[in-house]
Structure 1
């Protein structure tokens, strides 16, 4: 017990005061990200720490074929991240005002029964907005979200 007490006394005599260090002072004000795909200047770029996707794209200049429709331009970027810019896909647009049963049946989630309902709806009135498709029995918001990339008026 005396040895333990002596060690405690010695430890207190040699006690050094510890200081908390703010590591933020050593953090860089910049980040590096890699951008590839449909951009004119692919590679690793340096940005401000709080930069977003839009600021990064200004540096690398997207090509005319770049598909920016599914990219969140306001998204904040993190150091070491990779951003891939996809190429636009050439999709065939099916007109809900003029397509026949076979063309409508080829749309995702649409079978022959719903295709016929679309034609019946058109006999009464033509579609003036894509969202009107949800007025057809069997087409709710969830199915409409799948379809809207493939349809036009």
Structure 2
């Protein structure tokens, strides 16, 4: 009788263990952990203008600051007003960063209307007060290369003296200065005074 009881207890224990193993095997498995890559910062584009050597569009990574934009544009001009700039401010995509000038040092720009109705930008000319010298060398008679007719056109020089000038330079070589023309027979100080502003060598 005891043997039968032990057998029944063993069978029941076996069923209990089998049931436990069954439930354990049916438990949901844990999900695998997937590591996501760190997010990359998007580039931003900033338009730098004002008191910098190289104004223009520049690209930065997100988190860049005003100082980075100034460095990219070549630094600050000596006329820049740094007191009104927050160099630590963050840049934003599409921002126009205007570096101000010191009072009175802004570049002067003037506009003039073209014949087609469009306005053109004119920058100030630092040499406006300087007189423009006209080149009149093309109007002067070169006594070393002039023809008989060209020499004859000079006041006080007729065809005879013009031929003497040609003969002189063929025999003695070209004139070194315009004053040397007085070595030609028939040309004295009075004649030279009349033609000195009309000739060249």
Normalised by the length of structure 2, the TM-score is: 0.33
Look at both structures and tell me which one has the larger radius of gyration over its CA atoms. 2
Higher relative contact order (CA 8 A, sep 6+): 1
Normalised by the length of structure 1, the TM-score is: 0.43
